[in-house]
Amino acid sequence: MASGTESWILMATGRTPTNIAVIKYWGKRDEALILPVNDSISVTLDPDHLSATTTVAVSPTFDRDRMWLNGEEIPLSGDRFQSCLREIRKLADDVVDEKKGIRIRKDDWQKLHVHISSYNNFPTAAGLASSAAGLACFVFTLAKLMNVKEDYGKLSSIARQGSGSACRSMYGGFVKWTMGRDAWGSDSIAVQLASESHWNDLVIIIAVVSSKQKETSSTTGMRDSVETSPLLQHRAQTVVPGRILQMEEAIRSRDFASFARLTCADSNQFHAVCLDTSPPIFYMNDTSHRIISLVERWNRSDGTPQVAYTFDAGPNAVLIAPNRKSAGLLLQRLLFCFPPPADDELTSYVIGDKSILHEAGLQSMKDVEALPPPPESKVKYPSQKTPGEVSYFICTRLGSGPRVLADESLALLSPTTGLPK
Amino acid sequence: MASGTESWILMATGRTPTNIAVIKYWGKRDEALILPVNDSISVTLDPDHLSATTTVAVSPTFDRDRMWLNGEEIPLSGDRFQSCLREIRKLADDVVDEKKGIRIRKDDWQKLHVHISSYNNFPTAAGLASSAAGLACFVFTLAKLMNVKEDYGKLSSIARQGSGSACRSMYGGFVKWTMGRDAWGSDSIAVQLASESHWNDLVIIIAVVSSKQKETSSTTGMRDSVETSPLLQHRAQTVVPGRILQMEEAIRSRDFASFARLTCADSNQFHAVCLDTSPPIFYMNDTSHRIISLVERWNRSDGTPQVAYTFDAGPNAVLIAPNRKSAGLLLQRLLFCFPPPADDELTSYVIGDKSILHEAGLQSMKDVEALPPPPESKVKYPSQKTPGEVSYFICTRLGSGPRVLADESLALLSPTTGLPK
């Protein structure tokens, strides 16, 4: 087996962004391999605000594979973790660390155990695609540690087997997950359509919506939809292919009006399919509906879309503005309709990139209280101010793909014990 | 013109039930003639609890057509009233009232003016298909006054031009509106599938749900769906035809399990199409969703449907139980989850056929407070009791079609002035 002393620990730390689909993935044609019924397109979010960080350690002293999520040990026995781990091990290559005097041969990886510690810089339970970022980071960091030479497309197909949408977190900017045709899923991979710098004016505001309901997991919901919704196959086969082409063109030409129209329509159609499922699935709640109404009324009063909205398997709204000016106007509207609770600080209610807040002239709660109703509100606005419906807002932007954190002080595992710090 | 003194008034009073679709009508292929994109099937509700009553008077002293709804004069100038009035006048026949010495010739109807007064025995604004009952009663009562000899199928096609679903209120029991093929709509009529006595065990409980939102009118919503929903045509052409056949068979064989499954699935699909519309239409709210969850959980725990639910263009739930026993169990569950406000009387919170309440052992607020959680609630029940979400419940049943009220004391217009009493 490896040379050097038998107590060495080798580590790698990676950081991987979340992503939010603008053309939605909903429905698998193969449950085990996680092969989708249609292509999907996502935007990658800035990892500074929404990402997973994972440290993977290997040592001959480890007697089994172990994993910690946000500091808590979790079982690694699930099929999804196991298939990612197995696939990465197959691609592992020789690793030589001259400085530490470590030499691991390709075949050693089958016998060596790993410790994995992962951390999300945003609430896991908030329904913000934490599993996508987490699984992508799991695969990415293992691949780095094990010196996997394959390209990111190949890695995306491994991440896909952990959590479908995780494959789209392997790139920054705009990403397409092509459903592929191969029965084994070799061509069901993510490809980058454009990097984050291609359209860097976009601003993203996420409304984290309070919810009392227990939500249906997307795995269960998707399976129920495939089995029971008479509309799902029509969506997958007839509607989505056209939207994918239109969305690629909207992104290529930075055509925000088309981008917004497609994004909103596809979010609504995904939720329509959920409703057409038996039993029906409700991810959006009355607050989600109010946010949509606010955006739709604004968009229509202006004649052209000012903002796009999209909702995943939960009530949170992801709002995309074409530039900082629109984002400021959006934030004013959101804070007018959903002000922070009286005892809350504005700075803990709007997090992430706070410069948008300042540019919108919102320095304090006084400024929020002084906000006038939006001009379009003259026409029947549900302008009752309801604090408490939104937990907080995150201001962010498009972001880059996975990267290695070379600074060892950022590792989540101790270099001496291999356990969480 | 007519014989007799020139100050006579001739009147007729009719009563027409509301109906609720179990296979939904959503989308017109002809806006002016109100021709639908698919067949629909409804149940007629007991007119004792939900109906419109209309008195029509004719007199040579009336100088114009006038109408009152629930005591308030309303304009009769709208296209829909006008086309119904015009079509009925075309079919008017000779009327002779020997006792009163009145003789009206066929052609006189073109010159004579009418006064119409209509009244709903349930809240008009509550979204309980008041326009269906109202328009059907308008056409039915005018036809009686004018001695129209045509069958109810022909009358239904006239009522259809007033308000699409009104055509289904021309019969009791189970009614199908066949979309027809004729460009002029002559074959787009209602037919009775079975009378109310065919399946008279069914019990209907309506939850009138409180709503803050202004709702999209069904006329506007339907038009937007036809123009923008990519799923609507697929539903109309591919999904509904099969469901119509299955629903006819379920009704014929009184197969409640199939009836319930189809009813719930089609309600959900109609709302899915609304959500797939741009801008999306939300008729159901969080309370509607909670009622669905309550029913779905119960149905699934029992393995076979205990209750069906259906929602029209608003948040109110129409719940259909196979018999009085199930209806009692349903009422217990509903009152457990949605108890009346503390200061409310149970007898004003549950209206209509109160015998269900008594059979379920619910005589007083004390009985409601003592209700145990439903047995299926052990598995994650959103059992927070939330008074105020439901305004009231109406217990009712299937009912009969339109009829003439011969008792002149029930007329809504004065026999001497022709004005509302």
Q: For the domain A10-197+405-410, what is the CATH code? A: 3.30.230.10
**Which residue type is seen at A326?**
S
Q: Tens digits of per-residue pLDDT, A270-292?
A: 999 999 999 999 999 999 999 99
Query: Given an 8 Å threshold on Cβ–Cβ distance, is B276 in contact with A279?
Result: no
Closest CA to B418 of B44, B12, B95: B12
Mean of the pLDDT values across residues A294-323? 95
Record: contact B273-A268, CB cut-off 8 A: no
CA distance B63 to chain A (A): 39
Q: Identify which of B231, B279, B382 has the shortest CB distance to residue A234.
A: B231
Q: For the residues A382-394, what does the mean pLDDT come to?
A: 79
Is pLDDT at A392 greater than 70 in this prediction? yes
Which chain B residues are Cβ-neighbours of A278 within 8 angstroms? 261, 264-265, 268
Determine which of B231, B240, B289 to mutate to test the interface with A (most A C-beta atoms within 10 Å): B231
**Secondary structure (H, E, C), chain B:** CCECCCCCCEEEEEEEECEEEEECCCCEEECCCCEECCCEEEEEECCCCCEEEEEEEEECCCCCCEEEECCEEECCCCHHHHHHHHHHHHHCCCEEECCCCEEECHHHHHCCEEEEEEEECCCHHHCCCHHHHHHHHHHHHHHHHCCCCCCHHHHHHHHHCCCHHHHHHHCCCEEEECCCCCCCCCCCCEEEEECHHHHCCCEEEEEEECCCCCCCCHHHHHHHHHHHCCCHHHHHHHHHHHHHHHHHHHHHCCCHHHHHHHHHHHHHHHHHHHHCCCCCCCCCCHHHHHHHHHHHHHHHHHCCCCCEEECCCCCCEEEEECCHHHHHHHHHHHHHHCCCCCCCCHHHHEEECCHHHHHCCCCCHHHHHCCCCCHHHHCCCCCCCCCCCEEEEEEEEECCCCEECCCHHHCCECCCCCCEC
CB contact at 8 A, B193 and B251: yes
Length of chain A: 421
Mean pLDDT to the nearest integer, B192-219: 90
Ordered by start, the domain boundaries in chain A are 10-197+405-410, 203-397
Contact B176, B191 (CB under 8 A): yes
What is the percent of chain A with per-residue pLDDT over 70, rounded to a whole number?
95
B245-304 pLDDT tens trace: 999 999 999 999 999 999 999 999 999 999 999 999 999 999 999 999 999 999 999 889
Please report the pLDDT score of residue B36 as a whole number.
Answer: 98
Q: Tell me how many residue pairs between chain A and chain B have CB atoms under 8 A apart.
A: 85
Contact residues, chain A, for B275 at CB < 8 Å: 268-269, 271-272, 275
Nearest CA in chain B to A238: B230
Interface of B with A (CB under 8 A): 212-214, 230-231, 234-235, 238-239, 261, 264-265, 268-269, 271-273, 275-280, 282, 285-286, 289, 292, 296, 300, 380, 382, 384
Average pLDDT over residues B215-225: 91
pLDDT band at residue A125 using 50, 70 and 90 as cut-offs: low
pLDDT at B384: 60
**How many angstroms away from the CA of A284 is the closest CA of chain B?**
9
| Fold adopted by B203-397 | Alpha-Beta Plaits (3.30.70)
CATH of B10-196+406-410, picked from 3.30.70.20, 3.20.20.10, 3.30.230.10, 1.10.3720.10, is: 3.30.230.10
How far away is chain A from the Cα of B378, in angstroms, using its nearest Cα? 14
Asked if the Cβ–Cβ distance from B292 to A276 is below 8 Å, we say no
ipTM of the complex: 0.93
Contact assignment for B268 to A282 by CB distance below 8 Å = no
Give the model confidence (pLDDT) of A222-244 as tens digits: 999 999 999 999 999 999 999 99
Please enumerate in sequence order all residues whose Cβ is within 8 A of that of B257, keeping only pairs 6 or more positions apart, or say none. Answer: B304, B305
Q: What mean pLDDT comes out for the span A328-335?
A: 96
Residue A1, pLDDT above cutoff 80: no
**Residue from the list A213, A275, A382 with its beta carbon closest to the beta carbon of B275:** A275
The span from the CA of A43 to the CA of A165, in Å, is 11
Phi, psi (rounded to 5 degrees) for A273:
-65, -40
Determine the Cα angle at B219 with ends B217 and B221, to 5°.
65
